[in-house]
Amino acid sequence: MSEVARRVALVCDYSLDYLGGAQSAFLDEARLLRERGHEVVIVAPASHRSDRGALGRWQDEGGDVMAVRAWVTLPGVHLPVIRNTRRLRARLTREIEQRGIDVVHVHSEFGLSAAAVSVARARGIRTVQTVHTFFWRADMPRGFRRGVAAAIGGFGRWLRGFPTTRTELAPTPVDSALRNLTLSLALRTDVVVSPSAHQGERLRAAGVRVVRVVPNAVTPGPAGEPLTDAGPPLRILWVGRLVSEKRLIEWIDAVVQTAATVRPESFEVEIVGEGPLRTLAEQRAGDAPVRFLGRLPRDQVRERMRSAHLVALTSFGFDNQPVTIVEALEARRGIFYVDPALTEGTELSGIRAFGPDVRAMSQLLTTLVRDPRPVLEASARAAEAAREFDPVLHVARITDAYSAPASA
């Protein structure tokens, strides 16, 4: 894998003021590429924060930015609405020409990414798309599903300027329509990057010809030390958006069940993140040993990981390759998880429940509280597991994908 210096436009439709997993992976990749000698311009929605947010920090570090103003942001999903217009394409063309960009690498599938891909294709510039999730889900009453699915397809065309594919990709019409937003842009790029093998397989099955599996990597921070003891109390950290697809309520119910069978002071759970389920989760937690910390800056999340004994990841059938896994391994902590599809990083340092349901999670949690030796063993293997996400290896794999034979 040769690493030739590149001039890369990294494009993201999501607001970088709100740091979810996709945004974190995007910013990490920008920094890792620049640290390895590549020129990187971030193309993203303009910040509305007084401190200029993540874009401002990138510029303060000497990074290049092309900020695009969005006049509307969809509530709930924090998605700035930026259309693929002639005016936007003209601006992107000027900016790309001035910088001599030779790779346009998008990390999303909406209007800004579509415009960047259109401009790059017209100029014969390499296009790459990292797919952060091909497993979109939306809870919707049965009677509304087909209408909402049609609206999603129409919205995609209005936003991006080309038709959305109509492949059957999920059991429900709405989920299928959402996944087709991703697929229809992936089919227009030269190479698609999937951070996980299981998502890569799904993309190939959907018709994407060139898929490279490149696990996420994080910018290095203070590494943790392997555990020498695990309580009591056993300290467990859960990190994520407080939404149904992350299965927070099921996790809280499992914690409550465990608390009813072990000594109250034998374990503690911290929840980091915000979202619409916080109030319900707090109510369900009751007197169980759970603390809700809200949204924290990333360095504080990493600090909480190093202070914990175990990191919990309770999604099932939704996540691709969560950045939480990489950060847990960097902290030298094992991962409590339920989804057998999540293999990157968990094969050495994962402790999996026999099922995703409340009972299975509670049984595993109870077992670990009573006998934490598997927690110590997972921590001891974390450094070896983290090698898969080595930043230098990540950049070498990404730049190799930049040179891969194109899909069309």
H or E element at residue 268: strand 267-272
Structural domain contains residue 224: no
> In the predicted model, is pLDDT for residue 405 greater than 80?
no
Task: Report residue 3's pLDDT band, with 50, 70 and 90 as the boundaries.
Answer: low
The predicted structure's pLDDT at residue 373 = 97
Q: In terms of residue numbers, what domain contains 144?
A: 7-217+390-402
353 shares a domain with 264: yes
Minimal CA–CA distance to 87: which of 121, 118, 42, 48?
A: 118
Q: What is the pTM of this model?
A: 0.89
Minimal CA–CA distance to 391: which of 6, 29, 11?
A: 29
Calculated CA dihedral for residues 74, 79, 84, 89, nearest 10 degrees: 130
Tell me how far CA of residue 162 lies from CA of 80, 84, 121, in angstroms: 19, 10, 14
Structural domain contains residue 407: no
In terms of Cβ atoms closer than 10 Å to its own Cβ (0-12, 13-18, 19+), residue 199 is buried
The predicted structure's pLDDT at residue 368 = 97
203 shares a domain with 147: yes
AA letter at 202: R
Sign of the CA dihedral with 355 first, then 358, 363, and 364 last = positive
Task: Report residue 202's pLDDT band, with 50, 70 and 90 as the boundaries.
Answer: very high
> Which one of 57-61, 171-175, 348-352 scores highest in mean pLDDT?
348-352
- Give residue-wise pLDDT tens across range 287-332: 999 999 999 988 899 999 999 999 999 999 888 888 899 999 999 9
Sign of the CA dihedral with 205 first, then 208, 210, and 212 last = negative
The predicted structure's pLDDT at residue 347 = 93
The predicted structure's pLDDT at residue 212 = 95
205 shares a domain with 303: no
Structural domain contains residue 222: no
**CB 254 within 8 Å of CB 362:** yes
Structural domain contains residue 227: no
- Give residue-wise pLDDT tens across range 97-120: 999 999 999 999 999 999 999 999
Structural domain contains residue 331: yes
**Can you give 339-378 as a three-state secondary structure string?**
CCCCCCCHHHHEEECCCCCHHHHHHHHHHHHHCCHHHHHH
Q: What is the mean pLDDT of residues 176-191?
A: 95
- Give residue-wise pLDDT tens across range 217-267: 888 778 899 999 998 999 999 999 898 989 999 999 999 999 999 998 999
Give the span between the Cα atoms of 339 and 348, in whole angstroms: 15
Give the span between the Cα atoms of 264 and 267, in whole angstroms: 7
Minimal CA–CA distance to 400: which of 17, 33, 9, 11?
A: 33
- Going by C-beta distance under 8 Å and a sequence separation of 6 or more, which residues neighbour residue 392? 36
271 shares a domain with 190: no
| The token pair that represents 392 in the structure block | 């230098």
> How many separate domains does the chain show?
2
> In the predicted model, is pLDDT for residue 12 greater than 90?
yes
3 state DSSP class of 317? coil
AA letter at 47: S
Structural domain contains residue 209: yes
82 shares a domain with 207: yes
CATH number at residue 89: 3.40.50.2000
246 shares a domain with 157: no
140 shares a domain with 56: yes
186 shares a domain with 317: no
Share of the chain above pLDDT 90, in %: 75
> In the predicted model, is pLDDT for residue 30 greater than 50?
yes
Rg over CA atoms, the chain: 21
Structural domain contains residue 226: no
158 shares a domain with 85: yes
The predicted structure's pLDDT at residue 47 = 85
28 shares a domain with 165: yes
83 shares a domain with 157: yes
Residue 292 CB: number of other CB atoms within 10 A?
Answer: 18
Strand partners of residue 269: 236, 290
Residue-averaged pLDDT of the chain:
92
3 state DSSP class of 106? strand
Give the span between the Cα atoms of 20 and 229, in whole angstroms: 31
Structural domain contains residue 397: yes
105 shares a domain with 121: yes
